Structure 1
Amino acid sequence: MQKIPVVAIFDVGKTNKKLFLFDESYKIVYEKSARFIETVDEDGEPCENLESLRLSVFDSLRDVFRRQEYEIRAINFSTYGASFVYIDEEGRPLCPLYNYLKPYPEELKKQFYNTYGGEEKFSKETASPVLGSLNSGMQLYRMKYEKPELFKQIKYALHLPQYLSYLISGEAYSDITSIGCHTNLWDFSKGDYHEWVAKEGILEKLAPLAPSDSVVPAAFPGNSYAVGIGLHDSSAALIPYLVNFHESFVLISTGTWCITLNPFNSTPLTEAELQQDCLCYMQYKGKPVKASRFFGGYEHEQQVKRIAAHFNQNTARYKTVAFDPEVICKLQREQGSMVGAKASKNQLQESVFAQRNLASFSSDVEAYHQFILDLVTQQVASTQLVLEGTDVKRIFVDGGFSKNAIYMNLLASFYPDKEIFAASMAQATAVGTALAIHRHWNSKPMPNDIIELKYYAVTHDANI
């Protein structure tokens, strides 16, 4: 029996840890999922169970290597960002995998920003809003000042994707998609580490930078598969679009957060943009990706519960509400210029719909249309922050809202001069992680049919 050539991809989220095998056409031929119970660090804060994760990687690989039908040619990793594993000379973790939501000491934060030019100046240089532990470089700074003895023992601080790669290859590298994502480590104006990284003795704790699409040999003798150095998940999810589309585009990735990614906007972040939660990611070829975000998916969850409770309905009903342009026109007539008006800075954080009286709506369907209209108004305000001044003609939407007909039709109404597409692709992050190392394992050309698109045109008279 001829073996199927495959790439193994570990896609590690905060909740689900998945292993996929993709064939050379990027079809999933094997999938395994695991969930671990969190542990706590020395302060009682919840954190990832690093030992469970490490054992799971080896157990999962052992399992797929036993399967005779597959020939594993390469392995790569993508994980959530802002998380460091600190290893000693022997490659052993020195402490827990601290949670990026762990509260950051206010005095230490003040000390840092006062030393390095203040929050506004520093944030502009590093394209990193002030986010505490979510700026992963700040975790290293904290380690140096709060645990100096432990800091001295660190051979390397590896972001989580690079640690998982290290487990298989035995080689330590840093990757620009992790280093360049709101870490406070990278100076976007200079295209190098920020000066504080060397001044504080952090640079020597960071492994050498390697290209995101590079591979190294496996550490285990007798194995011929290649090992990728790992990618930050947000950057990995963008790769299929960069590979398939060469004209400029914007991707709105929708989930708990609605994140607008513009890989074709290289203008430096302004103070105003940083204050409105804009940041820069780094794509796998090392170019900045300007991004904006708001809490759209979370807000949808909350307001759907409120509508369902008020109208005595099941929340599942709102997954399939059809778009009704007449309802939108009625809402516009009744509420005039309020409907579809540009969202203010505050409205990016606060839902307009949360302030609305549900008793003013004749039905739950009408209320839901109003909610999505308010939400899309927020979406446009957020997207405009990274769209402004660029010649983008296409907007792709993936994730949960790409399946919401009201959201998609209203977005098309707000952007009559652009092509709006709902994009669907199974496991975009894992596919992107595989595509990054395509040339090292795949004998076929890069695929151009892995993203399904549904076009939304302006087909109604709603004047937005």
Structure 2
Amino acid sequence: MSAQVKTVAVIDIGKTNTKLALVNLLRGEEVAVETAPNCVLQGPPWPHFDTGAQWAFLSAAMGRLATAHRIDAIAVTTHGACAAFLAADGTLAAPVMDYEFTGPEKTRADYDRIRPPFAETGSPALPMGLNLGAQLHHALTADPGLAARTAHVVTWPQYWGFRLTGHVACDLSSLGCHTDLWNPAQGRWSSLPAALGLAGKMAPPRRPDEVLGTLSPALQAEWGVGPVPVAVGIHDSNASLLPHLRGRAAPFAVVSTGTWVICMAIGGKPVTLDPTRDTLINVDARGLPVPSARFMGGREHDLIRAGSTAPGTPSDAAAVLEQGVMLLPAVVSESGPFAGRSHRWTAAPQGEGETAVALGHYLALMTSECLGLIGADGPILVEGPFSANPWFLAMLASACGRDVIPSRARTGTALGAALLFSPAAPTTAPDTVTRPDPRLAAHARVWRQAVAA
């Protein structure tokens, strides 16, 4: 770590919320966090992210942060499956498409004729706009003048980096996030950018930990921040992975939770990935391939809870086991290891507390399934909101038969993004470990039998 970089302001653009966190690298913790909900505008020309509202929140929050704290550097982390078309004057050549827009399905047949195979990209065919290449193809098809208006295409972290510095790039971890655009085995573009007519317009690929540029003079003056460096930026699940790559010996697995639950295996058992079960090859901050699997766990959680905040009690947990209350997949049927299935309860939970417990079990069992598909081995490290869910942690340890270690960070991605400015592992307190419980392991076996049936 540079002697000058002690605190990093991290812009974290999730699917559900936009966050600004200040990370103290010396202590390895966040010292300030602000969040705001994201909004998707329905169009025209397609559902898109409200970049104006996101920037207004970030700009105001950055000014408040700079008033109260020293800022030595800025890093950006975002969700995947997102990119921006930039015009020559730096404005958006088109709105930034929401990856849940179903429009790309209408042009899917044409896209599939140019889409590279899984063996080339490690990227499974996904619905909606979850393959970034499908988004780009649909946008170029729906707006015939877009290609001519576009000077650069940048991945999502680098859109914000461009607004901070004026420099363009794509980062390797975002390109390796089921985009169809990258060949992770060879570390180069796939055949798709050329097929889309974008070979000369894709911004250059760079490592997330390189410096993209310096904060622009206009923003320095507006926010009261000095000429600080801005990192290239990183995909959020890979930000969660980075502290563990720096500080832990393989094998281990990282489960990054949020709107998506992303499971990543480091040094695991050799397996053949099955793209029909939402497995894929991610690319980590070093540019190396990482077997991964995922499902929309945070969205499933919110759909089942329907606004309830009842935490569940030990008596609720006992009742769930005694009555065999189980939720079977899938709550969100468009993705994940059981795509195409409709969820059902084996027995109806009695009250919100039992629902909370059984839902925590379900999310853990889905996570366990993902970990098995990618050959994960060793301890399981949980980042993000589910790291505070005791029912999730207990069932995950029991279903996998391995120790589970929850993160204590308030935002699971912020520390990893800040570590783009540090070559060292963070200093952390001793791990709190959740270990397998035989009663829950038996419950997991019954769940798996029900799913197989």
TM-score range, shorter chain: 0.7 to 0.9
- The equivalences for 1:222-261 within 5 A come to 223-261=226-264
CA change 1:378–1:72 in 2 (3 A) is closer
Aligned partner of residue 285 in structure 1, secondary structure: coil
Are the aligned partners of 2:184 and 2:283 in contact in 1 as well (CA < 8 Å)?
no
Q: Please identify, of 14-23 and 454-463, the stretch whose mean Cα deviation from structure 2 is larger.
A: 454-463
CA contact (8 A) 2:238 2:285 kept: yes
Please say if 1:167 is aligned against 2:131: no
Q: Is the 8 A contact 1:277 1:293 kept in 2?
A: yes
Q: Which amino acid aligns with 2:367?
A: Q
Q: Indicate conservation of the 8 Å contact 1:140/1:202, yes or no.
A: no
Where does residue 52 of structure 2 map in the other structure? 51
Q: 1:243-263: per-residue Cα shift (whole Å, max 9, x none)?
A: 221231112234444332213
Aligned partners of 2:216 and 2:337: how far apart in 1? 54
3-state secondary structure, aligned to 2:72: strand
CA deviation vs aligned residue, 1:58-100 (integer Å, no higher than 9, x gap): 44444444x2x64322111112222222112221211211211
1:138 aligns with: 134
Partner Cα separation in structure 1 for residue 198 and residue 283 of structure 2: 20
* 1:208 corresponding residue in structure 2: 204
The structure with the largest alpha-carbon Rg is: 1
Structure 2 partner of 1:288? 289
The equivalent residue for 1:197 is: 193
Distance in 1 between the 2:44 and 2:351 partners?
A: 52
Identity of counterpart residues, as a percentage? 25
Indicate the residue corresponding to 2:223 in structure 1.
Answer: none
1:281-340 deviation line (CA, Å, top 9, x unaligned) = 2111111222222344444555567xxxxxxxx9544x13228997687568xx9xx999
| 1:168 Cα deviation from its structure 2 partner | 1.8
Cα deviation, residue 400, structure 1: 4.1
Q: Secondary structure at the match of 1:133?
A: coil
Give the corresponding residue for 2:381. 396
User: Equivalents in 2 of 1:28, 1:112: separation in Å?
Assistant: 42
Quote the residue 1:39 is aligned against: 41
Report the counterpart of residue 30 of structure 1 in structure 2.
32
Unaligned 5+ runs, structure 1: 306-313, 440-444
Aligned AA for 2:113? N
For 1:134 and 1:215, the matched residues in 2 are separated by: 28
Shift of 1:350: 7.5
* Alpha-carbon distance between aligned partners in 1 of 2:317 and 2:38, rounded to the nearest angstrom: 45
Name the CA distance, whole Å, in 2 between partners of 1:399 and 1:249: 17
List per-residue Cα deviations over 1:191-235 (Å, max 9, x = no partner): 321123224321211111122101144253594311111211121
The CA distance in 2 between the partners of 1:352 and 1:150, in whole Å, is 39
Q: Which moved further from structure 2: 253-262 or 425-434?
A: 253-262
Q: Secondary structure at the match of 2:161?
A: helix
Partner of 1:411, secondary structure, is: helix
Instruction: Give, as a single letter, the amino acid of the residue that structure 1 aligns with 2:370.
Output: S
Query: 2:401 matched to 1:410?
Result: no
Of stretches 17-26 and 84-93 in structure 1, the one that deviates more from structure 2 is 17-26
- With over 3 angstroms needed to count, the CA separation of the structure-2 counterparts of 1:85 and 1:255, relative to structure 1, is closer
3-state SS of paired residue (1:289): strand
3-state secondary structure, aligned to 2:141: helix
Aligned length: 425
Change (3 A) 1:5 1:125: closer
Contact preservation (8 Å) 2:399, 2:436: no
By how many angstroms is 1:164 displaced?
0.9
CA distance in 2, matches of 1:405, 1:36: 28
Does 1:158 pair with 2:158? Answer: no
What whole-Å deviation, never above 9, does each CA across 1:107-141 have from its counterpart, x for those lacking one? 53212222456xxxx23422222224221122222
Tell me, in whole angstroms, the C-alpha distance in 1 between the residues paired with 2:387 and 2:371.
15
CA shift in 2, pair 1:258/1:212, >3 Å: closer
Whether 1:129 and 2:124 are equivalent positions in the alignment is yes
Does structure 1 residue 320 correspond to structure 2 residue 312?
Answer: yes
* Aligned counterpart, 1:110: 109
* Letter aligned with residue 46 of structure 1: P
The verdict on how the C-alpha distance between 1:192 and 1:355 changes in structure 2, with shifts beyond 3 A counting, is same
For 2:420, which of 392, 414, 436 is the aligned residue?
436
- For 2:118, the aligned partner's letter is S
Give the 3-state SS of the residue equivalent to 1:453 in structure 2: coil
SS of residue paired to 2:96: coil
Distance 1:323 1:398 in 2: 27
Output the CA distance in 1 between the equivalents of 2:39 and 2:259.
21
- With 29-38 and 273-282 compared, the bigger mean Cα shift is at 29-38
Q: The residue matched to 1:204 in structure 2 has which SS?
A: coil
Describe the SS at the equivalent of 1:102: coil
Match of 1:380 among 355, 358, 368: 368
Partner of 1:308: none
Equivalent in the alignment of 2:81: 82
Q: Distance in 2 between matches of 1:276 and 1:299?
A: 17
TM-score, with length taken from structure 1: 0.78
Per the normalisation by structure 2, the TM-score is: 0.80
AA at the equivalent of 1:283: D
Matched position secondary structure for 2:434: strand
Name the SS of the counterpart of 1:293 in structure 2.
Answer: strand
Unaligned runs of 5+ in 2: 221-225, 329-334, 446-453
